[in-house]
């Protein structure tokens, strides 16, 4: 039995959204239902996905499922830091494949502006080992700066190549009304920005945001009644790595992404070269370069060359993050994976507007939790 995505929705990603988490989730849920033939009462279960401690609500699944009118159907809370809603899609897929449920809503959210940037960094740092790592400054920028330095030393990757990832991101964000930053940046602006964690500068880093996303899954029989343009889940890979980066054997890539990609490709019965469009977890510019290597879009060490030659632009070898990615769209942790999936679904339906990749048949979503702790790769097919 095949499983399809029948509806996708998202709120704009922004700072200080001025609304509650249940209203955020309602807006994404309503957006997902707009163009499909489905009533909330027909949904069998919901998965609410976020990282805890950014707002005061405990057990948000109960609050949100009630607000969306989904009770008394079961609801579950899913958390794998930045990859929470991709994990939610895997769980929802499993519910349907096992025949426990026919239709499942996966709703990801985060409202990060209720606390200061310093407090956000402290909470994100707790995604690392709170005894031996995060107290010593290994926040997210520092962790990815370490990867960038290792990549530069081993492969000769340059700060200019990192900056070109952001230049591409800013170009495509202009066409995404959901993106937080919609301004094209020059290479010089990116290179001259203030340093955050050397070699990463301000524009090499994604920004905290408020936002929500929604992905509605259904079994094959239901899907064909709900929509004329279902997008099929062809492959799913999910892995984890050591929490402590001191135990890692590779600092120039993410082992969890390599393995998750291998699993997803095998399940979908495709190769990296078959992918027409990809959304990868570019929380930092080096992350996109590593992702392209880890997913087999190029050889290890050639990710910098790929962006240098514009091969990740529309019209290139593999268009990557043509919605602006996390770098320009923003990164409301629990909503990010669902937003990435939404982008690829719209591409495969031919509804991506100015950033449509011609003839896109197969899309890939790469969503990472923490500093390479959780790896999620999802292959979707038209």
CB crowding 305-338: b at 16 or more within 10 Å, else e: bbbeeebbbbeeebbbbbbbbbbbbbbbbbbbbb
* pLDDT confidence of residue 247: 87
* pLDDT confidence of residue 233: 98
Q: Is 281 one of the catalytic residues?
A: no
Distance CA 327, CA 15 (A): 14
Residue 48 host element (H or E)? strand 45-49
Q: Is 331 one of the catalytic residues?
A: yes
Predicted confidence band of residue 58 (pLDDT cuts 50, 70, 90): confident
Which residue, among 169, 100, 112, 144, has the nearest Cα to 326 in the 3D structure? 169
Sign of CA dihedral 121, 127, 132, 138: negative
* pLDDT confidence of residue 96: 98
* pLDDT confidence of residue 55: 77
Q: What are the start and end residues of each CATH 3.40.47.10 domain in the chain?
A: 3-115+209-231, 135-207+234-381
DSSP 82: B
Which residue, among 274, 333, 332, 272, has the nearest Cα to 303 in the 3D structure? 272
The two structure tokens encoding residue 71: 């009770």
* pLDDT confidence of residue 282: 98
Which residue, among 314, 355, 312, 336, has the nearest Cα to 124 in the 3D structure? 336
Cis peptide before 199 (omega within 30 of 0): yes
CATH domain 3-115+209-231 topology: Peroxisomal Thiolase; Chain A, domain 1 (3.40.47)
Predicted confidence band of residue 104 (pLDDT cuts 50, 70, 90): very high
pLDDT of 1 above 80: yes
% of the chain surpassing 90 pLDDT = 87
Other beta carbons within 10 Å of 267: 15
Query: Are 208 and 326 in contact, with CB atoms under 8 Å apart?
Result: no
Question: Rg (Cα) of the chain, in Å, rounded?
Answer: 19
| pTM for the model | 0.96
What is the CA 71 to chain-centroid distance, rounded?
A: 28
- 215 bridge partner residues: 8, 106
* pLDDT confidence of residue 91: 98
Q: Which superfamily does CATH assign the domain made up of 135-207+234-381 to?
A: Thiolase/Chalcone synthase (3.40.47.10)
* pLDDT confidence of residue 382: 95
Catalytic residue among 25, 49, 82, 206: 82
Give the pairing type, strands 3-10 and 231-240. antiparallel
At 143-199, the pLDDT tens digits run: 999 999 999 999 999 999 999 999 999 999 999 999 999 999 999 999 999 999 999
At 286-315, the pLDDT tens digits run: 999 999 999 999 999 999 999 999 999 999
């Amino acid at each position: 039995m095949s499983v399809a995505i029948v509806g996708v929705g998202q709120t704009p990603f922004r700072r200080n959204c001025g609304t509650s988490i249940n209203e955020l989730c309602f807006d994404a849920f309503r957006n997902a239902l707009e163009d499909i033939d489905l009533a909330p009462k027909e949904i069998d279960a919901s998965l609410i996905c976020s990282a805890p401690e950014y707002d005061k609500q405990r057990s948000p699944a109960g609050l949100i499922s009630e607000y969306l009118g989904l009770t008394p159907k079961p609801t579950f809370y899913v958390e794998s830091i930045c990859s929470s809603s991709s994990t939610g899609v895997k769980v929802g897929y499993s519910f349907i494949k096992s025949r426990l449920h026919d239709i499942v809503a996966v709703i990801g959210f985060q409202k990060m502006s209720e606390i200061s940037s310093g407090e956000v960094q402290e909470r994100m740092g707790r995604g690392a080992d709170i005894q031996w790592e995060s107290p010593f400054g290994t926040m997210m920028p520092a962790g990815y700066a370490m990867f960038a330095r290792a990549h530069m030393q081993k492969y000769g990757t340059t700060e200019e190549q990192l900056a070109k990832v952001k230049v591409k991101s800013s170009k495509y964000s202009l066409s995404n009304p959901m993106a937080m930053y919609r301004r094209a940046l020059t290479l010089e602006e990116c290179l001259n920005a203030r340093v955050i964690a050397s070699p990463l500068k301000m524009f090499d880093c994604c920004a905290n945001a408020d936002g929500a996303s929604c992905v509605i899954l259904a079994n094959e029989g239901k899907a064909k009644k709900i929509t004329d343009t279902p997008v099929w889940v062809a492959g799913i890979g999910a892995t984890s790595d050591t929490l402590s980066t001191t135990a890692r054997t590779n600092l120039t890539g993410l082992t969890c992404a390599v393995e998750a990609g291998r699993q997803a490709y095998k399940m979908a019965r495709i190769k990296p070269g078959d992918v027409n469009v990809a959304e990868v977890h570019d929380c930092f510019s080096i992350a996109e370069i590593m992702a392209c290597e880890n997913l087999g879009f190029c050889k290890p060490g050639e990710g910098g060359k790929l962006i240098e030659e514009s091969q990740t632009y529309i019209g290139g070898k593999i268009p990557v993050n043509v919605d602006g990615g996390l770098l320009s769209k923003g990164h409301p942790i629990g909503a990010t994976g669902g937003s990435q999936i939404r982008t690829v679904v719209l591409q495969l339906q031919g509804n991506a507007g100015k950033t449509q990749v011609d003839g896109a048949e197969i899309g890939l979503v790469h969503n990472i939790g923490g500093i390479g702790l959780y790896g999620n790769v999802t292959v979707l097919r038209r």
